[in-house]
Structure 1
Amino acid sequence: MENAERRPYRMGARAAAVEATRARIVRAAADLWTRRWYDDVTLQHIADEAGVSVQTIVNHFDGKDGLADAVADLAAARADVARQAPTGDVPAIVAVLFEEYERQGDANVLWTAQVDRVPAVARAAAHARVQHRAWLERVFADRLPPPGPDREHALALHYAATDVYLWKLWRRDLALPRHAAERAMRDLLTSIDPRKGDDDG
């Protein structure tokens, strides 16, 4: 009879191998979707990139939409880790945000352009919006008004000032160098500080 002590080890090794395969598939899909439209990437493309069969992908994720949800979860987890910045430190906040946008801003813009026709992408975008708002509330906690209309107004301004499309405008459309784009975002965030008062009374 097989030693009972070896069964948990084998089961643990198998679970680790399954998780490694799953992670490899998610990374392969994420890499392809950062460069190509969602509809242009097939499960076969992803399988070839990950070194697995299409059936393996289906077994893990049920299909393309399920895999897209997993990719969105991975992106959200990475953003949570990467976006560490001291509350109220505008230069540090902008630097952290630019590190993310320089790395994956083009992919974010590509995905956002597909929200109206790809449900999985729409779900990912909705989650990203919630995540970004929560991040803004955390890093600008020192300046945001108490809950209410004024807070919502301030959050809307900060959201616009830090949105990936503003990064795209500066870095891609206007071809500003990174240091100039970062300065523009810092200046914009400083100018909308609610603590300075409302000129409209």
Structure 2
Amino acid sequence: MNAKRVYVQTARAASAAHTRQRILDATVELVRRQVSVEIVLTDVAESAAVSVQTVLRHFGSRDGLFEAAAAQAVEQVTAERRIPVGDVDAAVRNLFDHYERWGELMLRFLAREAHDPKVYAVTEQGRELHRDWVSQAFAPMLAARSPDAREAVTDLLVIATDLYTWKLLTRDRRMPREQAEARVRQLITAILGES
């Protein structure tokens, strides 16, 4: 195989990957702005500056596109929520950053999960990711506990750091972020100290 042919194939692959990423980014942004996850392929294509046929060539169907976009969002969320293990202050800051970025979309998804199996799949995965995050973020504080106690404390930490706790404090109570973070840190400290 000559060098020119390898270069052309590499350039085509890079271009296809770039196009695929633009489509995924456009899809995630459209879902974030809309009340519904029922995105229209023409809107995605227009937003990504490609044709509907290009979207279909990359993802096969609207469902395929939604699944790929959901997987990308999960990767983004997982990367965004990495923190130093055992650092409560960093965990709370990170959590609030995450909720400020994704919270409104997550609340819309939770409101629709009973009516849409695709949305339910996303919210269920989100619940699993959050519990895993709690287990990792607070691992040093959980490690010395018996399995039953660890499970109970993890449940309480999941509640203390839940999206609805953030919503209650920042949206419903209209607390400034600093005060809301302090409340969540108080909850965490009380759970870890008394359990």
TM-score for both structures, normalised by structure 1: 0.88
Amino acid at match of 2:76: R
Deviations along 1:21-63, one digit per CA (max 9) or x if unpaired, are 1111111111111121235531111111111111211221122
Give the C-alpha shift of residue 95 in structure 1: 0.4
The answer to whether the 8 A contact 2:31-2:37 is kept is no
Q: Which residue of 2 aligns with 1:167?
A: 166
Number of equivalenced pairs? 194
Task: Name the structure 2 match of 1:17.
Answer: 15
Q: Give runs of aligned pairs for residues 41-80 of structure 1, distance below 5 A.
A: 41-80=39-78
**In the alignment, is residue 106 of structure 1 matched against residue 73 of structure 2?**
no
After superposition, residues 83-122 of structure 1 pair within 5 angstroms as: 83-122=81-120
RMSD in angstroms over aligned alpha carbons?
1.8
| 2:157 aligned residue | 158
Higher RCO (Cα < 8 Å, 6 or more apart): 1
Q: CA deviation at 1:97?
A: 0.8
Letter in 1 for 2:35: W
Q: How many Å separate the matches in 1 of 2:152 and 2:65?
A: 36
Q: After the TM superposition, which residues 32-47 of structure 1 pair with which residues of structure 2 at under 5 Å, given as runs?
A: 32-47=30-45
Q: 2-side partners of 1:168 and 1:7: how far apart?
A: 55
Cα deviation, residue 121, structure 1: 2.0
Shift of 1:88: 2.0
- Specify every segment of 5 or more residues in structure 1 that has no aligned partner in the other structure, as ranges: none
In 1, are the aligned partners of 2:37 and 2:119 still within 8 Å (CA)? no
Evaluate the alpha carbon distance shift between residue 56 and residue 154 of structure 1 in structure 2; reply closer, same or farther with a 3 A threshold: same
What amino acid maps onto 2:60 in structure 1?
D
Structure 2: how far apart are the matches of 1:88 and 1:123? 30
SS in structure 1 of the partner of residue 132 of structure 2: helix
SS in 2 for 1:192: helix
- TM-score when normalising by structure 2: 0.91
Extract unaligned runs of 5+ from structure 2: none
Q: Report percent identity of matched pairs.
A: 37
The 1:39/1:129 distance shift into structure 2, 3 A limit, reads closer
Q: Which amino acid is 1:190 matched to?
A: T
| Counterpart secondary structure, 1:84 | coil
* Aligned counterparts of 1:89 and 1:31: Cα–Cα separation in 2: 31
Shift of 1:184: 0.9
- Say whether the 8 Å CA contact 2:112–2:119 is kept in structure 1: yes
